[in-house]
Homo-oligomer: A and B are copies of this chain.
């Protein structure tokens, strides 16, 4: 079965992590291929000619691109185990809304935190915390965004937790102080094997960010 599913990925990518978590939740065996983004493989360029980005999920030779589309695809094909998206249309729309919110806010604002300084960074930190607080509101008292089990929004958001340490170090602030419920949620998720094995060590991610900053001449 392992040749049936291939994942072209890059270890620090939160988008790749989403797919790793989804595949692990479903217990799917797959071949993981690490891409060098400065020297993209022919396979990557052939499988994602439009955007030329990772992650790319290849199932029986056919590519699926874009992480949220990949997670939905995995959920639909392997629908019998660990469903990620609810079955009720309104709850599905709600789950998609919050996954879209993560896409619109967390990645871009997080990137601003480690790539900028001064006022721009301060504004990004403020908006970042506000966005996390809105997510805390959506989580409410539930153990996971998906309720009693990991769901679509959990999978969409969790990978960014491995980048929080990098944001905190670069931004000189503590996320847990402002958003304790969200950090508690993330730690709860990390107790699951599917999550723990899909997320890289946060110190390793921070080391990567420092390399990037050096390479791009960002202080």
Contacts and interface: CB of A to CB of B under 8 A. Distances in A.
B66 A100 contact: yes
A217 interface: no
Contacts of A72: 92-93, 96
**Complex copy number for this chain:** 2
Contacts of A90: 59, 62, 64, 73
A102 B7 CA distance: 25
Contacts of A196: none
Contacts of A193: none
Contacts of A59: 90
B50 A64 contact: no
Nearest to A75: B89
Interface of A: 50, 59, 62, 64-66, 69-70, 72-73, 76-77, 89-90, 92-93, 96-97, 100-101, 134
